[in-house]
Amino acid sequence: MRLMVLTASAALLLTGGLYAQAGAPALPKCMEDAPPINVDVTDVSIVKVLPFFGAGCGVEVRVEGVEGTAALEPVPHIQFQQTKIGEIFRFILPAYGLKYSVLNDRTIIVTKR
């Protein structure tokens, strides 16, 4: 069981690292410069959590066309401690087969990769 958790964690980290190296678009400045946050939610889908990451600085995060992805399924527990919003985006989205594009400094669109 422990090996399975370690393998899954390594796969998620590798996927996130490859996505970040592939030139993920820069998030709006207010999200990039935001101080680290704590996130601790239970029994919620990723698509319901994403809009809250931009809400603090007036950025609308729209999730479109993600049918058929794991991002719609409830996750038992999502927790980040003292993590920047940009890091959360670059970690969570690739792990769930999603990508984002920045329309302007107030709108981000999240779609299936």
Q: What is the pLDDT of residues 30-84, one digit of tens each?
A: 999 999 999 999 999 999 999 999 998 899 999 999 998 999 999 999 999 999 9
State the pLDDT at residue 59.
Answer: 95
Round to whole Å and give the CA distance between 105 and 78.
26
State the pLDDT at residue 18.
Answer: 47
pLDDT at 102 over 90: yes
The answer to whether the beta carbons of residues 32 and 79 sit under 8 Å apart is no
Tokens 């003292």 locate to: 82
User: What is the mean predicted confidence (pLDDT) over 85-91?
Assistant: 91
Tokens standing for residue 110? 């999240």
CATH number for domain 2-112, candidates 3.90.700.10, 3.60.10.10, 3.40.50.2300, 3.55.50.10:
3.55.50.10
